[in-house]
Amino acid sequence: MSASVLVDSVVTYFRRKGYRVERNAVGEGKTGSPYTFDLVIKKGDEQRLLWIREWRRTVGVNMVINMDKTAEDVGMPNPIMISTKFSGHAKAYANRRGVTLLTRREIAQRLG
């Protein structure tokens, strides 16, 4: 699955779940830092950042921590990251902090 196909699949998945999806969203954090996000999903009062990492390597805990801190800085807690696979430390951190980690395989299975 190429990166653009993965992004399209993720957009379809969240739209089916009733979310509005904004691609390549730009925001500014409380610190004044500018950020660009792959997607921002919105449903009612809920608004979450979504990062898609189409990498061949395992996503480590530092990437998940950086995403979590960025989400906190822009005031959108509980971000979502999608990639091929995640390290054990990344999964443990995500569980403690309310970060959702999904694999591209999970997205494909849920789309049917």
> How many other CB atoms sit within 10 Å of the CB of residue 92?
13
CATH assignment of the domain containing 41? 3.40.1350.10
Q: β-strand 34-43 against 46-53: which pairing, if any?
A: antiparallel
For residue 3, pLDDT beyond 70: no
Which residues constitute the domain of residue 83?
3-111
Residue for token digits 């379809």? 12
For residue 4, pLDDT beyond 90: no
Residues 72 and 109: beta-carbon distance below 8 Å: no
- Give the per-residue SS3 of the chain: CCHHHHHHHHHHHHHHCCCEEEEEEEEECCCCCEEEEEEEEEECCEEEEEEEECCCCCECHHHHHHHHHHHHHCCCCCCEEEECCECHHHHHHHHHHCCEEEEHHHHHHHHC
> How many residues would you count in the chain?
112
- Condensed to tens digits (0 to 9), the pLDDT of residues 56-110 reads 899 999 999 999 999 999 999 999 999 999 999 999 999 999 999 999 999 999 9
pTM tops 0.85? yes
Total domains, the chain: 1
